[in-house]
Amino acid sequence: MAVSPIPGTVFGPRTILHHMRAARLHEYTEAMDDALSIDDVDTPQVNQADHVVVDIEGAGWCQTDNHAIEGMWEQYMPQDLPMTLGHENAGTVVETGDGVSTVEEGEQVICHTVMTCGTCRPCRLGEDMHCENIQFPGLSTDGGFADQLLTNERAVIPLPDGVDTTDIAPHADAGITAYHAVKLAARELNPGDHAVVIGVGGLGHIGLQCLNAMSPVTITAVDVKNSALDLADDLGAHHTVNPSEADVADEIDDLTDGNGAHQILDFVGSDETTALAPDVVAAGGDHYVVGYGGHVHEPSQALVNGDFSYQGTLVGQYTELQELVALVERGDVDLRTSRYNLGEINDVAAKLDRGEIEGRAVITP
């Protein structure tokens, strides 16, 4: 556990850290191997009734962290640099505000990615990702690549006994993002239908398992890496296609008697993967854009004639993270992780950038 008392700290009845380590972004850069610096910063303070401080025991590294380093989120989120990254967090509650009643100190929790208000209309509708007062630790406020994280009561989910906080951390974002898109797709799928999972990396290998657990359909996994396709095979994919070796549209056409796949879960979102839709999606189907490396670019007529959608999806609701935790508890979703110290964080950034991380890397401050 990360909490190492720093000399000079005054300890009272509750152990208080005055300083802690945090991996911070000082300026946008393309240089992944030197992107973040490990700074000595103040520990977070509870100053609202609903605040919760969590000792971080696992914080997953996400493609979005690379994108944030490159500055891709600046136009979508208010970002005040330097800022601590890290939005896939789990650990132990160390302090709570006066109004908090659903968790207490010492309880192990996974942190939903965002802090929401609970009183705006989107929160009331259960659409907490659209909260009008949203804060996104790791993208708009300090995140979890640090000893401690400040979040709030509406963000924390107590974990069942026997679940390891480090192991489960990536579900906070990779997991829920994959689960959310799969849940939407599963509603449109019937036995006998065909679904395609594009990209069997951090998100995709979770999405594939969720899809298998939630929908009795035939699944084809697509990835440019054969090792990823081997993983897909292990995790229950019925067919695999490597686009560098075979034409994806032809393969799907063969597998579906020319009807196409009813739902595409695109965990890559590049120019090449989104361009598959007109040839691969069945009439009336959907292409879920979950990853976001490139552009969607098609004639309007292709969407009209194919009667299909490009459906962007953003993370998922708190209640969906509860549901994913239930799947994990059932043993339906097995997360492939590798662990790294906080000091290794720039190596992790660079490795993911080069496509060298299998499954999910987790930082253990």
Q: Which of residues 24-43 bind a copy of itself (CB under 8 A)?
A: none
Cβ at position 168, least distance to a copy of itself in Å: 15
| Separation between Cα atoms, residue 210 and residue 23, nearest integer Å | 32
Q: Which two tokens stand for residue 266?
A: 């695109």
Number of residues that bind a copy of itself (CB under 8 A): 76
Per CB under 8 A, the segment of 36-44, 141-149, 244-252, 309-317 that binds a copy of itself is: 309-317
Measured between alpha carbons, how far apart are the two ends of the chain, in Å?
Answer: 8
Q: Applying CB under 8 A, does 304 fall inside the site for a copy of itself?
A: yes
* Nearer of residues 273 and 346 to a copy of itself, judged by Cβ: 273
* Nearer of residues 34 and 271 to a copy of itself, judged by Cβ: 271
Site pattern 335..364 for a copy of itself (x: CB under 8 A): ------------------------------
Q: Which of residues 272, 298, 344, 347 is near a copy of itself by CB under 8 A?
A: 298
Residues 93-132 that bind a copy of itself (CB under 8 A): 98-99, 101-102, 118-119, 121-130, 132
Q: Which of 127, 134, 159, 136 is nearest to 58 (CA)?
A: 159
Q: Which two tokens stand for residue 17?
A: 């850290």
Residues 134-163 that bind a copy of itself (CB under 8 A): 153-154
Angle of CA points 34, 84, 120, to nearest 5°: 145
Cβ at position 162, least distance to a copy of itself in Å: 16
* Nearer of residues 5 and 284 to a copy of itself, judged by Cβ: 284
Would the CA dihedral through 289, 68, 352, 31 be positive or negative?
Answer: positive
- Other beta carbons less than 10 A from residue 149's beta carbon: 30
Residue 164's φ and ψ, nearest 5 degrees, are: -85, 125
Tell me whether residue 6 is exposed, middle or buried, using C-beta atoms within 10 angstroms of its C-beta: 0 to 12, 13 to 18, 19 or more. middle
Q: What is the CA radius of gyration of the chain?
A: 21
Residues 235-294 that bind a copy of itself (CB under 8 A): 259, 269-270, 274, 282-284, 286, 289-294
| Separation between Cα atoms, residue 292 and residue 70, nearest integer Å | 13
Per CB under 8 A, the segment of 12-20, 143-151, 196-204, 300-308 that binds a copy of itself is: 300-308
Cβ at position 297, least distance to a copy of itself in Å: 5
